[in-house]
Structure 1
Amino acid sequence: EAQSALEVAKVFDTERTIVSYDNLGIARLIYQLPTTLCEMFLREVFKRGSIESLDQETLFTIQRFFENNLNVSETSRKLFVHRNTLVYRLEKIKKLTGLDLREFEDAIVFKVALMVKRYLNASPTKY
């Protein structure tokens, strides 16, 4: 478990120096998936648009939105942007991906897709 925790943490949690296997959550599950399944999942999720077309500012906005539990007002305050600016960015993401990140189900799909993308970028091919 300790070795597995270190491997998973290298991919998903680069900020913590101490990692517990029990606290890895969904990252532990994603790490066990074959890359072919992960690639298929990403193609399904982003069929209307590519995750690569999202710029760093947009990805940072999404990350903060998730950290603030999908709360538009709190996220806009912490990003120092007007609430309508954040809503505009979320609408742009919805047009591009078909996912409305203000909806819990869509937010989960997007979050998992980001984690899968990170996993694929860091891992050799596993079948």
Structure 2
Amino acid sequence: MYRKYELEHMVKKCVNLIHGLSSKANGELTCYYRSQQIIILVGKNESKPPVTVNETKAFAHELVELLTREMKKTQFLIGIGSQHKTFSSLHRSFFEAQKAMRLMQRFKDIRIISHFEDYTVYHFLDFNIKPAEMEEFFHNTIGVIHHHDQTFNTNIISTLEYYFMHNQNVTEAAKAMFIHRNTFIYRVDKIKELLNSNLKNADELFQIQLALNLYRLLNKG
């Protein structure tokens, strides 16, 4: 009973804080609580230009900063759906926002805010390529790294992900992984050795990044 009261109190506080930022939402804001999720709807006037993804994310970032500042012991995750013109299409935006959150959790993403469009590549791969074809491409491209990780209990694939995530900036990637720069360089050298690549050829880099996307979709981690 106490837990239920505590949860209701927390939700009420969140909703009040969200309404406090309504003036920055670029539209009329409505929010309600359902199944441990707070759903925020932002209505737009058709005479005004649509809000961009970056503008929506900027509002979400302000929202998270406010919520985490006022509710320090609570973690927040925000998924954003696409804009739709008709009320009957709202369920699609809600579905997209939920899927964005699920993908963040599934991929153990470092982000706490994501838009459905952030995962366009994954949606395309998931709907257009058969699992067996994904598996084959992954195996042929970076399967040797996955095998090395499984055999020697290393995390070379994770290093590769951070390497691309930080635009091949070794210093920034090492900081993000909380390891020494020299350790990261050693791992990258190991990747080059395993793949027999200098990681400079554009076509090779594209294939490796595509294989990393499949790594997440196939739940290899």
TM-score by length of 2: 0.42
1:13 paired with 2:111, answer no
> What is the aligned partner in structure 2 of residue 110 from structure 1?
208
Cα deviation for residue 31 of structure 1 reads 1.3
Structure 2 CA distance, aligned partners of 1:102 and 1:71?
A: 13
- Structure number having the greater helix percentage: 1
**2:134 matched residue in structure 1:** 38
Aligned to 2:219, what secondary structure does the other structure show?
Answer: helix
Identity over aligned pairs, percent: 20
Q: How does 1:85-100 map to 2 (within 5 A)?
A: 85-100=183-198
Q: Aligned-pair distance for 1:4?
A: 5.9
**Structure 1 counterpart of 2:180, one-letter code:** V
Corresponding position of 1:72: 170
- Structure (1/2) with the larger strand percentage: 2
Q: CA deviation at 1:89?
A: 1.5
| CA distance in structure 2 between the aligned counterparts of 1:109 and 1:39, rounded to whole angstroms | 14
- The structure with the larger Rg is 2
Bigger RCO of structures 1 and 2 (CA < 8 A, at least 6 apart): 1
| Inter-partner Cα distance in structure 2 for 1:30 and 1:9 | 18
Pick closer, same or farther for the CA change 1:76–1:18 going to 2, 3 Å.
Answer: closer
Q: Equivalents in 2 of 1:46, 1:29: separation in Å?
A: 20
- Assess, with a 3 A threshold, how the Cα gap between structure 1 residues 80 and 103 changes in structure 2: closer, same or farther: farther
2: CA distance between counterparts of 1:121 and 1:76? 24
Partner residue, 1:59: 157
Cα distance change, pair 9–120 in 1 and its aligned pair in 2 (3 A): farther
- Aligned equivalents of 2:98, 2:198: Cα separation in 1: 33
Answering whether residue 177 of structure 2 is matched by residue 81 of structure 1, we say: no
Task: Name the count of aligned residue pairs.
Answer: 119
Q: What do you get for the CA RMSD once the two structures are aligned?
A: 3.2
Q: State how far apart, in whole Å, the 2-side matches of 1:18 and 1:86 are.
A: 27
Tell me how far apart the structure 1 counterparts of residues 96 and 130 of structure 2 sit (CA, whole Å): 16
For residue 28 of structure 1, the aligned residue among 103, 123, 142 is 123
Structure 1 unmatched ranges of 5 or more = 123-127
SS of equivalent residue, structure 1 residue 96: helix
